[in-house]
Amino acid sequence: MYSIGSAPVVPKVKVMHFVTGGFSGGATQVAISLVRAALPSEHINPILVLRKKRRGDPARITELQQQGIPFAVVPGWNKIATILALVKLCKQVQPDVLVAHGFSEHLWGRYAGLLAKVPVLVHVEHNTKERYNRWRLAQSRWLSLRTAAIIGCSEGVKAVLLAQGMPAERCHAISNGINTAPFRAAVPPLAERSPNIVMVSRFSKQKNHATLLQALSLLKQQGLTPKLLLAGGGKSLHRKPLEKLAVTLGIAEQVQFLGVVRNVPELLQQNQLAVLSSHYEGMPLALLEGMAAGCIAIGSAVPGIQEVLHEGEDGFLVAENDACALAERIKYCLQHSAQLQSVADAGRARALTEFSRERMNQQYEALFMKLVRPEHGSKGA
C-alpha cells in the first residue's frame, strides 16, 4: 500500500489463470471469461496463461490479441517443460494468486506455483469425471494441502472433490457463468422458430452425441423428421464415427455437422430445442446459452445438468443414455411448443439472472480478496 497525498492507494491483486489452450473445452472458456470480466475491476489485475496445444487454433490466439486480453502461452509438449516455463513466468509477473483450471493443468500449474512461491494457489475442477489414476489422485490430494481454495464449478463437482478426499474447509462451489450480453435483447417466441434441435458441444465420448442420433432415428420411424444442428469442434476421431452412424441410421439428410460456429446465440434463437445428451458434466455452458436464447432445454439427468434444469419448470431432464426417453421428450416438446413457451421463458430468466458471467466473476473476486486480504474479503463477501 502507498499514498498519493492523503489517500491510500492499494495495489490491485494480480491473478494468473492457467488453463489448457485447446479452446474447445469449458475450462478454457471460463478462464477467458474470468479474465475478461476482471479487466475493469478496481481490485483485480488478471492475466491468462495458456498451455500450448499441438492442434491449437491460431485464429483464437489472434482474437485474444484483438480483444485486448492479457495473455501468455507456455509450452505444452511436455509437462516438465510446462512447469519450468510457468515458474519462469510467475517469477516475472509475480502474481498474488495462481488459479489452475482443469485436469491435468491443475497439477502442473500448482507445482509451478509452489516452485515460484506464489502466495495463493487455487484449483478449479471443471468436471464430475476426469481421468484420475491412483498416482494423479495422490498428487492432487498432496497439492490440496498446499492450496488455499479448491473450487468446483457446480455443487455436483464439489461433491466429487469431497469424495476424493479434498479438505472440506477449502472446498467451494462457484457455478460457471455465461456472457449474457448477446442474449439480453428480446428473442423470437417459439412459434416463430424452426422446429429443429441444436446441440452445441465439442465431439467427444463425454458428450454422447450417439444417443441423440439414435433418438432422431426413433423419431423418424414415427414420422417426425426435425433437423439436428451439431455445432462444435473436436477431433475427427470422434466426429467421423458419428457421421457414419447418421448414415447407418438413415438420418444423414437431417443432421448437419456445422463445425465451430461463431454465431451460437443467433443459431440458438432460430430454433426451438437445445439438447445436451452428455454422460457427465461439470456445469453445462452450452445448455445455459440455450436457455438464455429462449429455447426449450433438454438435458441428461446427471450432476451439473441437474442443477441447471428443474423438470417441467425451466427445462426437461431425461435418463442418461436412454434414446427412447430422449426421443419421447423431443417429440413432446416439438408437438407442444406453444404450450411450453412458459417453460422456455422460465429457463431464459434463470440463465440470465443466476448464471451470468458477472455473477461468477463477483464470487471469484470476493474469494480472491478474502484469500489475499482477509480484512477486505470479509467486507466484500
User: Could you tell me if 68 and 151 lie in one domain?
Assistant: yes
Average pLDDT score over residue span 333-354: 97
The number of folded domains in the chain is: 2
Say how far apart CA 242 and CA 69 lie, in whole Å.
36
pLDDT at 6 over 70: no
Average pLDDT score over residue span 316-341: 98
pLDDT tens digit sequence for 113-142: 999 999 999 999 999 999 899 999 999 999
More confident residue, 169 or 56: 169
User: Could you tell me if 134 and 156 lie in one domain?
Assistant: yes
Domain, as residue range, for 22 = 2-177+356-380
Q: Edge-to-edge strands of the sheet including 316-318?
A: 255-259, 228-231, 194-200, 271-276, 296-300, 316-318
pLDDT at 347 over 50: yes
User: Could you tell me if 82 and 167 lie in one domain?
Assistant: yes
Average pLDDT score over residue span 50-54: 90
pLDDT at 301 over 80: yes
pLDDT at 278 over 50: yes
User: Could you tell me if 227 and 310 lie in one domain?
Assistant: yes
Reported as half-sphere exposure (CB side, CA atoms, 13 A), residue 222 has a value of 15
pLDDT tens digit sequence for 75-92: 999 999 999 999 999 999
User: Could you tell me if 372 and 295 lie in one domain?
Assistant: no
pLDDT at 146 over 80: yes
User: Could you tell me if 360 and 317 lie in one domain?
Assistant: no
pLDDT tens digit sequence for 199-230: 999 999 999 999 999 999 999 999 999 999 99
User: Could you tell me if 155 and 241 lie in one domain?
Assistant: no
pLDDT at 5 over 60: no
pLDDT of residue 168: 98
Amino acid present at 135: W
Q: What pTM value is reported for the model?
A: 0.89
User: Could you tell me if 193 and 308 lie in one domain?
Assistant: yes
pLDDT of residue 379: 44
Return the CATH number at 124.
Answer: 3.40.50.2000
C-beta of residue 227 within 8 angstroms of C-beta of residue 196: yes
Percent of the chain topping pLDDT 90: 88
Number of DSSP helices (H) and strands (E) in the chain, helices first: 15, 15
pLDDT at 378 over 50: no
How many other CB atoms are there within 10 angstroms of residue 197's CB atom? 27
pLDDT of residue 10: 77
pLDDT band (50, 70, 90) for residue 56: low
pLDDT at 375 over 80: no
User: Could you tell me if 333 and 364 lie in one domain?
Assistant: no
For the record, the C-alpha cell of 187 comes out as 428473442
The partner residues of 71 in beta bridges, in order of sequence, read 48
Instruction: Share the mean pLDDT of the chain.
Output: 94
Q: What is the largest CA-CA distance in the chain?
A: 78
pLDDT band (50, 70, 90) for residue 57: confident
Q: What angle separates helix 209-221 from helix 323-335, to the nearest 10 degrees? A: 60
pLDDT band (50, 70, 90) for residue 380: very low
User: Could you tell me if 151 and 81 lie in one domain?
Assistant: yes
Say how far apart CA 212 and CA 209 lie, in whole Å.
5
User: Could you tell me if 341 and 220 lie in one domain?
Assistant: yes
Average pLDDT score over residue span 266-281: 97
User: Could you tell me if 207 and 152 lie in one domain?
Assistant: no
Radius of gyration of the chain (CA): 22
